[in-house]
Every structure is written in structure tokens, then in C-alpha cells.
A and B are shown apart, each in its own frame.
Chain A
């Protein structure tokens, strides 16, 4: 079979980071190829290189076995490569036909007018050929998200795309629409089109793709055939298994329950259930880890706990009080520190300097000024202390946050939150995008806090991180805790299995009925190892 797209040794560097590191990728014509990886693994960057949005630092792009150099998406489109972004680029008040033909409208009267009839005909012909069900005269704002996505696909096809790149195509779709999309992909490949789709959901990759390439930390860590691999293998590839560091973790001296989450149900922004009936306690002096592949409800769970999202059901207790209805500010004041996963959206105000950012979350605290005033000199001293203690570079409290590298931004946030003197630290991917040295430093500080009797909730998709730091480990899959395990007594293979949604109880149910009887979370911890 012919190779439709071949990326040969693509490296893409940004100031301070390598987004893609010598990535090879070969996509066969007429297949669906999934590009699988965690957030930040370099998937979108790689596809933006293919689509001409980025110029690779080194490496070659081959389309139809011919070396190409794309300066812009237009060049890519001319070479038959189309990309459908996650956020659709459609003009809402215009019709489906107008959107599809926009910029390439059939002309009449010597090019002076748009030939609407011909445009409509072309769209109808195209959607018939691929079995798409779209109304060419409907306004885009009136059709569903799934239909809008099909319009985007038609737009690419109309421009002569042979290779379609879909960036997280399922992120905005309902489960039914996802099924429809997969049907569309089948139809497209049946007619010789080539599909590359970016996803971080391994279930989808298994379901829809012929081949799967896994990216991690900007590197291709494996290309496999979908029918020759297992979900566990993929999960392991995605999160990695190399032990980065050997954390010296003294035994936990746990105290009282600091935070308690009971039967919490949380919906995501689309109103789809993201967390379904999750319960756990975090005690003083312990690290409770939550492991799982990204997008299985961790974000929503953490937001519900920290007060950024209201749970649909359930109860959240903090230091013995019911805080379910408390505002975010109340929870901060009660001693909840939170390292958010999206540091540039939430964790820092990008236009503020570090002094101003040191105040974020403490602006109403007495420590930085009485009676609603702000004591800037005190804030500045605080910022300088964080910069000094957490080795933030450049060591300049006047530096605008945006000018710092991601790792240094993260160190500053970690410092600010740890210095809050908290009772509970919620750390969401605290080391994402941070260099190895800083990772170790952050880990040490986390364990120090734990020694001081602070309760820590650690969410991470890095297996070695949650396993190495946690005293107890909850594995989340599709919004539910599959199991709560002792990380020291569980192998990576078992964790990979759990993260892929394979419930140990179910396996046991086949083998022995005894285990199912005592199949509670605790019992499962001890009872399921071979």
C-alpha cells in the first residue's frame, strides 16, 4: 500500500522547549491513523507542521512520496492535505453551501458573480458521494455540532483534500455523534481518503483507527496496528513506564480526615456527566493520588473540590465542615491551596508581573494589606521570597508572567500555593511541562508538606509520579473510581489495566466467585494480585 503522508524525522523547537523530537510518522493511503497521546505530548504541533502552520526546525514532510515544503495551510491544501480544527472555522449566519464554497466559489458572468446554483449542486454532489446527511441550504447556526463538523469535512473535501487531519474531533460531540463520525470516517477511507485523527482517548483510537501512533513528550514511542495491540499496552505507551526518580518516601503518619468527598456527581461544560458518584477521603499527612488517562473526569472532580464547579450531587467536607455550597474564596481562606492544570488560563494572569501574580488568590487576605487595600511592598517581598525559594528564572519580581518559560511559570505557581500555609494542597499535574530538575524539587516539596501534616491530593497522568508519591491511589476511568489501591503493592501493568478501564473485580468474577463476594475497594486492593 502506498504511503500518503510520511513525516521524516520532524523536530520542532520553540524557545526553551522541544515540542517534537525527531518524530517519524508514516500513514498508509486509505487508512485511519490515530495520533494518540496525553495533552502536551506534541500531537497538534506535529499536525500543524504537516498542515503548514509551523515550519519544522528539521525533518522532511512527504506527501505522496514527494518532499514538500509548506509555507502556509494554502500550500498544504494545494497538496491535498486538509485539517479540521477542534474549534470549527465556520461563518454561523451563512448557509452550509456558502460555508463550504467560501473563498472558492464557482463563478459566472466572467468571474463577477457567484454561481449559487453550481455551488449548491457541487455541495449536493459531494455529500451524496460520501453519504453525508447535510442540508445545503441550512444556516450553520441552526444545525447541530455534529453536522457542523461534517460541513468542515466537506469544506476540506471541496478543496480537494485527500488527507484529512482531524484535531480532537470527538471532544465536542455527543456519544451518538461520535458513532456517526466514525461511520463517516469509514466511508471516507472506503473511497480512498486518508484520515489522521488526533485524540487522547485510547478507546476511540482502538475503535476507529487502523493504525495508532503514540506520542509522548514530543517523541514517537510506538506505531502499532489497532488490531494487534491492547488497551493496556497503549495506556502504558501513553503515560510511560520509565521511573524518572526514586522518591524516598517515609511512611505516612496520617491524621484526621482533612477533605472528604462523598458521592459526588459532576457534569462538564456540555452537561455531559464527567464524574459519576465518586467518594474518597484525604487525611492529614498523606498523599492521595488520582491516576488516570487525561479526560476521564479528573479536571471536573478537582474543580468541584476546589470550588470552581458546582457538583450536581454529593457532599464535600473540608476540615469537618460541609463546604459544598462554599465559594471558591471561602475555600481559599479556609486553607485550600490549588495548583491548577491550566496555568496560563487560571494559575497566572499572563499580563501581570510576578508581584501582582503573587497576590492571586490572596488579594483579600489581611496579610497583604488591611481594609481592602493592597500592601504592594509586602506583596513584592513575598513574590521575591517565592522566586528565591523556588528558583524561578529570571529572578525578577517585575517580569511579566507571559515572558517566563512554562516550567518557571509552574514553579512560581507551586511556590505561591505551597507558601499559603495550607491544610490541603490540590495539585493538578504539578510537574507538567517542567524540566527534570524542577520536577524533583516539586516532588520533594510536596513530600515535605506531607511530613508537616498537610493533606495532599495529587492528580497526574504520569504513572511514575502518582505511583511514586501517593500513599493511596485512586484510579479513575470515565468518571468513576475503578479502584483504590496501595501504589507500593501494585505493579505498573496492573495500573495500566485499571487506567484502561478493566475492572479487576470483573476479571475475578470469571475466575472465582469468592473474590466477587468481598469485592469492595479495599479487598480488591489486596486480593487481586496474582
Chain B
């Protein structure tokens, strides 16, 4: 068996891995990434100078950085030190959940588009547009209602506004793809820049808070922001928002798996010709998927304004791009997005803890984070590649007759049977 055959074989095996196998693979990948990361920390620790009493000693050798401490801080620190007894709901754990909430929406946004076979890189832009729209609309709404009623009315209203504007902004690349055959990767990237530019213009002009030096809107009144429940408000986290996030996960899962629209989306994503055969209106499905995807991005923006910042300010963090990683990590499955967003949230929040607790440079922590994501995402990535290769393998050879041809009896593994094999 040649190397090529063996690689093909491994890919095919990955492509056909069951859910349990995939969870096992992911866990193993996580452990492996920690191991490789630990070696890196040790090596980096050898190459730095520190006083002997700052150093830790393993195998009789001194190292400046302690990998155990680093990973302890990265994970346990992010969870607010649940083992040390000093756990508080308003601590680092809140930060982790806050990041997780935003990443859930960003991840779902990307995942939905992916399932429809569309690569939406524009979640970031849709989020920015949704954020500004929410801030402006809620500020206007806050002049009409206030108090508890204000919270009950304004928070859902803000989310709705974010969804509508994010959705409209997502619909643009949708229309461009469906009716002008414009590649969505290009258009969404460009629209990201446009979103950033236009919001900067607006927030430094008409919507600018005259009292502030920064380019930001007038701060939202307290009652127009997410209420804090159980968790303290110090870390800008609201359990209500997370609840919305979990609702969105369940909702999107139901939409994809249990509705006719979801069936259309999934079919279009994996086999457009079959979707067309079954009566799916391809352009309409593209527009609808990207609109919905944009709406989820817009909600992320609304959350950012109403939960974290309390105002709209330029320089929105790149949750939208993190959403791509989250989605891929989750295999574009809404339920997986929840778990992947939590892992990502832990890593994001843990990074700051590591920086406080150790001398390890932030760049190195970034490398560790990247390693973990790379390791966990790679099997999934290769699974997708494997699927594609074993699929196209069968189609590339089936050239007879000028159109792709049914191959008989070919499973994914023996997919290169070719089209001729069926008579």
C-alpha cells in the first residue's frame, strides 16, 4: 500500500467516524495539544533568564515557566477556581460565560450558513451593524419607557432590532450570490470593511456622544441593559443572555432537523443538484439562509451592546471571526456550537488569568490557545476534507457520457469505483 493509499484510507475512516469516535478523537486531540503546549512552555522557559528561586524544577532541570501552572490558570482560572473554595459567581467564570454567550451567536451564524453550503465570513460585519442599530434604537426607546417595564420591553426590542439589521446586512451578500453569482466569501469580507467604515462615520458624527472623547454613542441607561441574575454585574454577564443563547441553539437545531426549510437548507448545502430536483428554490434558500445567518450575527451585536459595553463604540472585538472557528470546531452542528463556544470562551477568559498569574508572555499564551484549537479542529477539518476527497474521487473518474454518473455499490471508502460500474 502506498503512502497515498494509506492517507486516503485514513481520510475515509475519519469521514465515516461515528459520533462517539469523534468525541473520543476530539478529547484525545485536546490532551495531545496540552502535552505539546507543555513542551513548548518548557522550552520557552529554558530560553528565558530568571532568578533561581523563580524557576521550577522538573527532571532536575530548572525552567522559568511552569507548564502545570499555565494550564491550571488557563482552564481552572477561567472557571473561577472551582476547586480552591473561593469560587464566586461574579468572578472569572462570569467572564467565561460572557464570552461563551457571544460566541454562541457568532458560531450559530456561521454554522447556519455553512449548512447551506455558504461560507459567511461576514458575521463580524453583520454583528457590527446589528450592534449600532441596537444602540441607536434602544436609546430612542429608552426615552419612552423606563424602570422594570423598560427592561422587559427594551431588551427584547434591542435583540429584535439587532436581528433585523444584521439580517438585512446578511441579505445583501445573499442577493448578490443568488442573483448575480457573486462569491459570498469576497462580498462578505468586503461588507465587513464597509460595516466598520460606515459605523465609524455614523458614530463619530450623528450618533456621537457629545460628552465623550471616544467615538461612541450615549451610554444606555441601566434599565435598557440586560439584567443581572444570580451572577453579579461586575463582569458584564447576564444569565438571561446565556439563556437566549441556549434557546437559539435549540431553535436552530429544531429548524435544521425538524422543518421543511431546514431540510431545504441541508439538502442545498450537501447536494445542490438533489435540492433542485426536490423543488428547492436555490436562490431563495441562499438569501434566506444568509439573512438568518446575518440575524444571528446581529443578535451577537445586540448582546455586545446591551450586556457588555452599554454603548456602541468603534472597534468591536472579532467575535465574528472567532465564530468561524467555533463553527468549524463544532462540525457546523448547532448543538456542537454550544460546546465549542464554551471551550473557546474558557480559552479567551483563561488567557487573561494566565497573564496575571505568570510571567509567560501573552504571545506564548496565544500560541497555546492556537495549538488547542488547531489540534481539536484538525480531525474535524480532515474529516470534511476526507468526505470531499472520497466523494469527488468517485465523481472525477466517472466521466463517461459528459455528465456525472451514478456509481453502483460504492460506499465512501470504495468511492472511486467510477460511474461505469453499474451495469
Contacts and interface: CB of A to CB of B under 8 A. Distances in A.
By CB atoms of chain A within 10 A, which of B258, B271, B279, B422 has the most?
Answer: B422
A375 to B, nearest CB: 9
A372 B276 CA distance: 18
B152 interface: no
Interface in A1-57: 12, 14-17, 19, 38-46, 48, 53-54
A48 to B, nearest CB: 6
Interface stretch (A253-261, A344-352, A470-478): A344-352
Contact of A349 (B258, B274, B406, B421): B274
Nearest to A338: B277
B224 to A, nearest CB: 35
B260 interface: yes
Contacts of B6: none
B410 interface: yes
Nearest to A167: B399
A348 B279 contact: no
A146 interface: no
Interface stretch (B34-42, B262-270, B301-309, B312-320): B262-270
Given A16-B409, A40-B400, A167-B399, A360 B259 contact: no
Interface string A52-87: 011000000000000000011000000000000111
**Prevailing SS type, chain A contact patch:** loop
Nearest to A18: B421
Interface string A427-438: 000001100000
A409 B281 CA distance: 25
Contact of A40 (B259, B263, B273, B405): B405
A38 B401 CA distance: 8
Nearest to B423: A40
A359 B258 CA distance: 12
A348 B423 CA distance: 19
B420 A43 contact: yes
A373 B263 CA distance: 10
A188 B296 CA distance: 61
B181 to A, nearest CB: 14
Contacts of A405: 408-409
B381 interface: no
Interface stretch (A325-333, A383-391, A501-509, A520-528): A325-333
A327 B281 contact: yes
Interface string B90-128: 000000000000000000000000000000000000000
Contacts, number: 191
B409 A14 contact: yes
Contact of B406 (A295, A351, A409): A409
A171 B423 contact: no
B402 A328 contact: no
A45 B421 contact: yes
A407 interface: yes
A340 B275 CA distance: 13
Given A346-B274, A349-B270, A364-B279, A171 B402 contact: yes
Contacts of A48: 397, 418
A480 interface: no
B278 A361 contact: yes
A350 B271 contact: yes
Contacts of A360: 267, 274, 277-278
B399 A432 contact: no
Contacts of A294: 401
Given A308-B276, A338-B277, A374-B259, A86 B409 contact: no
A363 B258 contact: no
A523 B178 CA distance: 49
Contacts of B80: none
B422 A432 contact: yes
Interface in B378-419: 391, 396-412, 414, 417-419
Contacts of A40: 400-401, 405-406, 419-420, 422-423
A441 interface: no
Interface residues of A, number: 76
Contacts of A53: 397
Contacts of B404: 342, 344-345
A43 B401 CA distance: 10
A411 interface: no
A405 B258 CA distance: 28
A491 interface: no
A294 B423 CA distance: 15
B421 A17 contact: yes
B240 interface: no
A110 B423 CA distance: 53
A44 B410 contact: no
B55 interface: no
B412 A402 contact: yes
B261 interface: yes
A294 to B, nearest CB: 6
Nearest to B267: A349
Contacts of B421: 12, 14, 17, 19, 42, 45, 406
Given A44-B397, A345-B404, A432-B422, A340 B409 contact: no
Interface string A180-219: 0000000000000000001010000000000000000110
A169 to B, nearest CB: 11
A463 B165 CA distance: 60
Contacts of B399: 44, 85-87, 167-168
A403 B411 contact: yes
Contacts of B400: 39-41, 43-44, 167-168, 198, 200
A394 to B, nearest CB: 12
B280 interface: yes
B323 to A, nearest CB: 24
A374 B263 contact: yes
Contact of A346 (B260, B261, B277, B422): B277
A39 B408 contact: no
13 contacts: A16-B408, A40-B405, A43-B400, A44-B400, A48-B418, A167-B399, A295-B401, A299-B403, A331-B279, A342-B405, A346-B276, A363-B260, A402-B410
Interface of A: 12, 14-17, 19, 38-46, 48, 53-54, 71-72, 85-87, 167-168, 171-172, 198, 200, 217-218, 294-295, 299, 307-308, 327-333, 338, 340, 342-352, 356, 359-361, 363-364, 369, 372-374, 376, 402-403, 405-407, 409-410, 432-433
Interface of B: 2, 258-264, 267, 270-271, 273-274, 276-281, 391, 396-412, 414, 417-423
Given A328-B276, A433-B422, A433-B423, 17 more contacts: A14-B417, A14-B421, A15-B414, A16-B408, A17-B421, A39-B401, A44-B399, A44-B418, A53-B397, A72-B2, A198-B400, A308-B277, A328-B279, A342-B405, A360-B277, A406-B406, A433-B406
Can you list the 4 inter-chain pairs with the closest CB atoms, starting with the nearest?
A406-B408, A329-B279, A433-B422, A16-B409
